[in-house]
Copies of this chain bind each other. A is one copy, B any other.
Amino acid sequence: MQYPEPIAKLIESYMKLPGIGNKSATRMAFYTLDMDEKDVNDFAKALVSAKKDLHYCSVCGNITESDPCMICADKGRDQSKIIVVEQPRDVMSLEKMREYRGLYHVLHGVLSPLEGKGPDDLNIASLLRRLQTNEAVEEVILATNATPEGEATATYLSRLIKPAGIKMTRLAHGLAVGSDIEYADEMTLLKAIEGRTEL
């Protein structure tokens, strides 16, 4: 006996989510049957709306309902700094600190020869255009992840943009606040020593 078709289809959909295999998808599907009808309908609406109402900002590549996005449209923000990140969710994380008031640029990925991702697959051309047309930009802060691909992408962008006379910086690497030296990996400790600051 097969699952009734409506539930088989739902399991199939859940399995398309990242990190969800057959067992989790089945559990979620049966759980859905026991959910409030309102919650399920809201869920379905949220899915359609997220896909339909959200776009990428034509300036910075961040996700947004309006275009340009709220950050790009806010003339009160510091137009001289752009933080370059991999994903829209990185923008959200950085905004959470409520300290930085400059702009952002979202690459939508990193250079990854293994996955066949080259410079043309990232949101790099629009970054260069932005730097050319906007004379106010003085500093580009590279905030790609501290992974080999993130580092390679930062190095690539730095070599590409630095000749134009724009200051290029990279987020500091070191010990996370609140972390134990005992559990830090070698590379993090090495970076923490290399980047030590004078008291």
Which A residues contact B (CB, under 8 angstroms)?
Answer: 1, 3-7, 9-10, 12-13, 16-19, 24, 26-33, 35, 37, 39-51, 53-54, 63-65, 70-71, 87-89, 91-92, 95-96
Contacts and interface: CB of A to CB of B under 8 A. Distances in A.
Given A1-B71, A70-B1, A40 B29 contact: no
A36 to B, nearest CB: 9
Nearest to A37: B51
Contacts of A71: 1
Nearest to A7: B50
Contacts of A50: 6-7, 9-10, 29, 32-33, 40
Contact of A4 (B9, B12, B42, B64): B64
Contacts of A39: 13, 16
Nearest to A31: B18
Nearest to A66: B4
Total copies of the chain: 2
A54 B4 CA distance: 8
Mostly helix, strand, loop or mixed at chain A's interface?
A: helix
A53 B49 CA distance: 23
Report which residue of A27, A31, A46 has the largest number of chain B beta carbons within 10 angstroms of its beta carbon.
A46
Contacts of A17: 28, 31-32
B10 A46 contact: yes
B46 A47 contact: no
Contacts of A35: 16, 51
Given A3-B92, A32-B47, A32-B50, 18 more contacts: A1-B70, A4-B63, A4-B65, A9-B46, A9-B50, A10-B46, A10-B50, A16-B35, A17-B28, A18-B28, A19-B27, A33-B50, A33-B88, A40-B47, A40-B48, A41-B48, A43-B44, A47-B47
